[in-house]
Amino acid sequence: MKELLAGAPEYPALARVVTADWIEVVDVEDVQEIVQFARYKSEFGGGSDRNIGEAAVLAWAASHMATAIVDDAVASRAARRDGIDVHGTLWLLVIGIRSGVLDRGEAERIVDDLAATEMRLPVDGPGLFAWAYEEGWLS
Protein backbone atom coordinates (compact mmCIF):
# COMPACT_ATOMS: atom_id res chain seq x y z
CA MET A 1 0.00 0.00 0.00
CA LYS A 2 2.83 2.37 0.84
CA GLU A 3 4.38 1.80 -2.59
CA LEU A 4 1.08 2.65 -4.28
CA LEU A 5 0.62 5.78 -2.22
CA ALA A 6 4.20 6.87 -2.89
CA GLY A 7 3.68 6.51 -6.63
CA ALA A 8 0.28 8.25 -6.73
CA PRO A 9 1.60 11.83 -7.10
CA GLU A 10 3.39 10.84 -10.31
CA TYR A 11 0.77 8.32 -11.45
CA PRO A 12 -2.67 9.43 -10.16
CA ALA A 13 -4.33 6.19 -11.33
CA LEU A 14 -2.59 4.40 -8.46
CA ALA A 15 -4.72 6.37 -6.01
CA ARG A 16 -7.81 4.66 -7.43
CA VAL A 17 -6.34 1.28 -6.52
CA VAL A 18 -6.00 2.33 -2.89
CA THR A 19 -9.71 3.15 -2.70
CA ALA A 20 -11.05 0.16 -4.65
CA ASP A 21 -13.70 -1.55 -2.53
CA TRP A 22 -12.68 -5.01 -3.75
CA ILE A 23 -9.17 -4.76 -2.30
CA GLU A 24 -8.58 -5.67 1.32
CA VAL A 25 -5.53 -4.18 2.97
CA VAL A 26 -3.92 -6.34 5.65
CA ASP A 27 -0.97 -5.61 7.90
CA VAL A 28 2.11 -7.70 8.58
CA GLU A 29 2.11 -7.58 12.36
CA ASP A 30 2.04 -11.10 13.79
CA VAL A 31 5.41 -12.48 14.92
CA GLN A 32 5.31 -15.27 12.31
CA GLU A 33 4.52 -12.70 9.59
CA ILE A 34 7.36 -10.44 10.71
CA VAL A 35 9.84 -13.33 10.73
CA GLN A 36 8.75 -14.29 7.21
CA PHE A 37 8.97 -10.65 6.12
CA ALA A 38 12.53 -10.35 7.44
CA ARG A 39 13.53 -13.55 5.64
CA TYR A 40 12.12 -12.42 2.30
CA LYS A 41 13.40 -8.86 2.64
CA SER A 42 16.88 -10.19 3.38
CA GLU A 43 16.69 -12.51 0.38
CA PHE A 44 15.44 -9.80 -2.00
CA GLY A 45 17.79 -7.09 -0.69
CA GLY A 46 17.69 -3.65 -2.25
CA GLY A 47 18.24 -1.39 0.72
CA SER A 48 15.65 -0.08 3.13
CA ASP A 49 13.19 1.15 0.52
CA ARG A 50 13.22 -1.62 -2.10
CA ASN A 51 11.31 -4.91 -2.34
CA ILE A 52 9.28 -4.14 0.78
CA GLY A 53 5.94 -4.76 -0.91
CA GLU A 54 7.00 -8.09 -2.37
CA ALA A 55 8.44 -9.24 0.97
CA ALA A 56 5.28 -8.18 2.83
CA VAL A 57 2.94 -9.90 0.37
CA LEU A 58 4.89 -13.17 0.50
CA ALA A 59 5.20 -13.02 4.29
CA TRP A 60 1.46 -12.60 4.74
CA ALA A 61 0.59 -15.22 2.13
CA ALA A 62 3.03 -17.74 3.64
CA SER A 63 1.66 -17.16 7.14
CA HIS A 64 -1.98 -17.48 6.08
CA MET A 65 -1.74 -20.03 3.25
CA ALA A 66 -3.10 -17.37 0.91
CA THR A 67 -2.52 -16.55 -2.73
CA ALA A 68 0.19 -13.95 -3.30
CA ILE A 69 -0.23 -11.39 -6.08
CA VAL A 70 3.17 -10.16 -7.20
CA ASP A 71 4.54 -9.26 -10.60
CA ASP A 72 8.22 -9.33 -9.69
CA ALA A 73 9.93 -12.39 -11.20
CA VAL A 74 12.33 -12.93 -8.27
CA ALA A 75 9.49 -12.78 -5.74
CA SER A 76 7.35 -15.11 -7.87
CA ARG A 77 10.15 -17.68 -8.03
CA ALA A 78 10.66 -17.46 -4.25
CA ALA A 79 6.93 -17.97 -3.69
CA ARG A 80 6.80 -21.03 -5.93
CA ARG A 81 9.93 -22.42 -4.27
CA ASP A 82 8.25 -22.04 -0.87
CA GLY A 83 4.95 -23.57 -1.96
CA ILE A 84 2.99 -20.31 -1.98
CA ASP A 85 0.25 -20.01 -4.57
CA VAL A 86 1.36 -16.99 -6.61
CA HIS A 87 -0.07 -15.11 -9.56
CA GLY A 88 0.33 -11.71 -11.18
CA THR A 89 -1.93 -8.70 -11.38
CA LEU A 90 -3.42 -9.63 -14.75
CA TRP A 91 -4.52 -13.00 -13.37
CA LEU A 92 -6.21 -11.17 -10.48
CA LEU A 93 -8.06 -8.89 -12.91
CA VAL A 94 -9.29 -11.88 -14.92
CA ILE A 95 -10.47 -13.59 -11.73
CA GLY A 96 -12.25 -10.34 -10.85
CA ILE A 97 -14.05 -10.41 -14.19
CA ARG A 98 -14.93 -14.09 -13.88
CA SER A 99 -16.37 -13.57 -10.39
CA GLY A 100 -18.33 -10.45 -11.36
CA VAL A 101 -16.32 -8.08 -9.15
CA LEU A 102 -15.02 -6.22 -12.23
CA ASP A 103 -16.58 -5.63 -15.60
CA ARG A 104 -14.61 -5.84 -18.81
CA GLY A 105 -14.29 -2.07 -19.29
CA GLU A 106 -13.06 -1.51 -15.75
CA ALA A 107 -10.46 -4.28 -16.07
CA GLU A 108 -9.24 -2.88 -19.39
CA ARG A 109 -8.92 0.62 -17.83
CA ILE A 110 -6.92 -0.82 -14.94
CA VAL A 111 -4.52 -2.52 -17.37
CA ASP A 112 -4.04 0.72 -19.29
CA ASP A 113 -3.60 2.66 -16.03
CA LEU A 114 -0.92 0.19 -14.94
CA ALA A 115 0.82 0.45 -18.30
CA ALA A 116 0.86 4.24 -17.88
CA THR A 117 2.98 3.74 -14.74
CA GLU A 118 5.62 2.08 -16.93
CA MET A 119 4.71 -1.36 -15.60
CA ARG A 120 5.79 -3.94 -18.15
CA LEU A 121 2.77 -5.91 -19.25
CA PRO A 122 2.34 -8.46 -22.06
CA VAL A 123 -0.89 -6.78 -23.23
CA ASP A 124 -2.78 -3.48 -23.25
CA GLY A 125 -6.31 -3.03 -21.93
CA PRO A 126 -8.19 -3.81 -25.16
CA GLY A 127 -6.05 -6.93 -25.64
CA LEU A 128 -6.69 -8.31 -22.13
CA PHE A 129 -9.55 -10.66 -23.06
CA ALA A 130 -7.84 -12.23 -26.07
CA TRP A 131 -4.64 -12.65 -24.05
CA ALA A 132 -6.54 -14.21 -21.11
CA TYR A 133 -8.18 -16.72 -23.48
CA GLU A 134 -4.78 -17.62 -24.90
CA GLU A 135 -3.47 -18.13 -21.36
CA GLY A 136 -6.40 -20.44 -20.62
CA TRP A 137 -7.85 -18.20 -17.91
CA LEU A 138 -11.14 -17.65 -19.74
CA SER A 139 -13.15 -20.29 -21.56
Query: Helices H, strands E: what count in the chain?
Result: 8, 2
- What is the SS3 assignment for 69? strand
Q: Are 60 and 13 found together in one domain? A: yes
Give 126 or 24, the one with higher predicted confidence: 126
Rounded distance between C-alpha atoms, residue 71 and residue 120, angstroms: 9
Q: Are 64 and 124 found together in one domain? A: no
Residue 8: its pLDDT value, please?
Answer: 86
Residue 2: its pLDDT value, please?
Answer: 80
Residue 46: its pLDDT value, please?
Answer: 83
Q: What is the pLDDT of residues 51-70, one digit of tens each?
A: 999 999 999 999 999 999 99
- 68-93 burial code (b ≥16 CB/10 A, e <16): bbbbbeebbebbeeeebebbbbbbbb
Q: Which residues partner with 69 through β-bridges? A: 87
The number of domains in the chain is 2
Q: Are 71 and 98 found together in one domain? A: no
Q: Are 77 and 25 found together in one domain? A: yes
Q: Are 66 and 22 found together in one domain? A: yes
Q: Which residues partner with 76 through β-bridges? A: none
Q: Are 93 and 69 found together in one domain? A: no
Q: Are 27 and 50 found together in one domain? A: yes
Q: Are 120 and 78 found together in one domain? A: no
Q: Are 78 and 14 found together in one domain? A: yes
Q: Are 73 and 105 found together in one domain? A: no
Q: Are 48 and 108 found together in one domain? A: no
For 105, the domain range is 89-135
